[in-house]
Every structure is written in structure tokens, then in C-alpha cells.
């Protein structure tokens, strides 16, 4: 719902509920269309379930059959297995940027999927651990949040990336992103390059 409010540029739930049902219908349809261009098609029904529940609980009559017709077709999940050690080695070999190496190590070490970058992954979610490891809180604030860990090698790659950003003039604070935006495209490009090579 917070994402929906941000999309709608509406300050709170009361302001949302004061809108007419026709305006809400159009707003929800536009939100689905916006999501289609930004997130995995399989995630949209799940993301919309909270929005639907909110309006139903507040007795707002929207045409959910019409809204669901706008949902994109689901994509086949098969073929999206975890990266093999050889694939990770190739990706690291063919990528020289500290950012790309940090992304590869982060994902390989934590076992997370690309969708994790849609959530708050800021410096306040990162903790130093013993033996050169780091802990990172994934899906912070969500019911599914959990801690996962970066190996010493992954933590080192992340620190090298941080050092480059500091040298480039970036100032770090608790809300600074661990990895910068558009990570999904970077991960796909990193992987594509390694496979092509």
C-alpha cells in the first residue's frame, strides 16, 4: 500500500478514501500498467492483493475483474536456477567494474533474487560480523524479512565498491543505498556478458 500511495502521490489513506470510486478505478488501473513496465509479471498479483484488500475492507467498489484483465501474462519460472560456481567465476572474470563485482558477490553470497533490490537495502541494513563477514537485513519491514550473510570475499568486494564511491565524492549515511538503483538491469547485463563470453 505504501508503494501504491507513493505512485498515486497521495499523502495518506484518508485522502485516498476521499476519492470517488471512478477516480480510484482509473488510479488502480494506471498503477497496474506502471507495474507492468517495472516488475516481474509473476509478482503483480501478489503486489496488488494488499491494494485490493484495502479497498474491499473500506467498502470501495472497484471492478477487480477489469483490473485483473490488465495483469500481464505470467512467465514460466523454469530455467531460473541459482548460479553455478562456474557461472559466478565467469561473471567475475569478464566484469572489471567494482560495482558489478559487488553485485555478483552480493547475490551469490546471500542467495537472493533480483527482486530483493525493490526493497530498502540501505547502509542501516548492513552489519559487520566476525571473521570479515557482513550481515544484511533482506526485505526490511516486510513480514518475510530475514538476515543473511556475506562471505569474507563478498564483504571485501562490497568494501572496495564503497571505497570507490567515497573517492568519487559520495557521502555515506544510514539511508545511503548499499548498491545503487537499476540493479536488475545490471545483474541481467552482467550475466549476459559472462554467458556470451
- Mean pLDDT, contiguous 10-residue spans, the chain (197 residues): 89 90 94 88 86 92 92 67 77 85 88 78 93 92 88 94 94 90 52 48
Residues 117, 138 contacting (CB under 8 angstroms): no
CA angle 120, 122, 127 (to 5 degrees): 120
**What is the DSSP track for 17-53?**
HTS-HHHHHHHHHHHHHHHHTTS-GGGHHHHHHHHHH
**Virtual torsion, Cα 18, 24, 28, 33, nearest 10 deg:** -130
The strand pair at 146-150 and 126-128 is best described as: unpaired
Per-residue pLDDT at 97? 85
Cell of 2: 505504501
**What is the CATH class of 85-196?**
mainly alpha
Element (H, E) at 194: helix 183-196
CA–CA dist 14, 17 (Å, integer): 5
Per-residue pLDDT at 190? 54
Q: pTM for the whole thing?
A: 0.54
Cell of 188: 541481467
Per-residue pLDDT at 150? 93
Per-residue pLDDT at 91? 83
Amino acid at each position: 500500500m505504501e508503494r501504491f500511495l507513493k505512485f498515486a502521490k497521495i499523502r495518506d489513506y484518508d485522502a485516498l478514501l476521499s476519492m470517488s470510486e471512478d477516480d480510484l478505478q482509473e488510479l488502480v488501473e494506471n498503477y497496474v500498467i506502471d507495474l507492468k513496465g517495472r516488475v516481474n509479471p509473476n509478482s503483480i498479483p501478489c503486489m496488488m492483493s494488499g491494494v485490493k484488500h484495502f479497498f474491499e475492507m473500506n467498502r470501495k467498489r472497484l471492478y477487480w475483474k477489469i483490473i485483473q484483465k490488465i495483469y500481464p501474462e505470467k512467465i514460466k519460472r523454469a530455467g531460473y536456477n541459482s548460479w553455478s560456481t562456474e557461472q559466478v567465476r565467469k561473471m567475475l572474470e569478464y566484469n572489471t567494474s567494482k560495482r558489478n563485482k559487488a553485485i555478483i558477490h552480493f547475490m551469490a553470497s546471500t542467495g537472493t533474487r533480483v527482486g530483493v533490490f525493490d526493497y530498502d537495502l540501505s547502509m542501516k541494513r548492513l552489519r559487520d560480523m566476525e571473521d570479515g563477514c557482513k550481515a544484511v537485513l533482506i526485505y526490511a519491514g516486510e513480514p518475510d524479512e530475514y538476515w543473511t550473510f556475506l562471505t569474507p570475499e563478498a564483504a571485501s568486494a562490497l568494501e572496495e565498491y564503497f571505497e570507490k564511491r567515497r573517492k568519487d565524492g559520495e557521502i555515506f549515511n544510514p539511508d545511503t543505498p548499499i548498491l545503487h538503483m537499476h540493479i536488475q538491469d545490471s545483474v541481467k547485463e552482467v550475466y549476459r556478458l559472462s554467458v556470451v563470453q
